[in-house]
Amino acid sequence: MFRPKVPTMPQPTGLAAPPTVVEPTTITLSTPAPPPAPVTPVPTGPAVRLTPGTALALVGGGTAVVLVVGAVLVSMLLAVALTATSVAVCAVVIRSVLIRR
């Protein structure tokens, strides 16, 4: 009862296809590609120019993100607190109903 039974390998049913022979392919060498032309580097300035207007926009955007995330977190905390309060009130009411019987 506690000894595992190894299943037997099922035998194929119907006609099986004969094994196919794979022929090796020949490799042909191609002519090498010419080397790429040298590219002259283009002199560039700083990647990001931070003007007072863009700095103010970044500060404003960051402040907005912090305020939105804070509002979402506070609302979630408030929802959890309201749920806990309602469950506690329900428990008190049910307990008082059961005690009166």
Residue with tokens 């700083």: 46
Q: Torsion angle, CA of 16/18/19/25, rounded to 10 degrees?
A: -130
Mean pLDDT, to the nearest integer, of 10-14? 74
Mean pLDDT, to the nearest integer, of 22-27? 80
Q: Which DSSP letter does residue 3 get?
A: S
pLDDT tens readout for residues 40-79: 777 776 777 788 899 999 999 999 999 999 999 999 999 9
Q: Where are the chain's structural domains?
A: 72-101
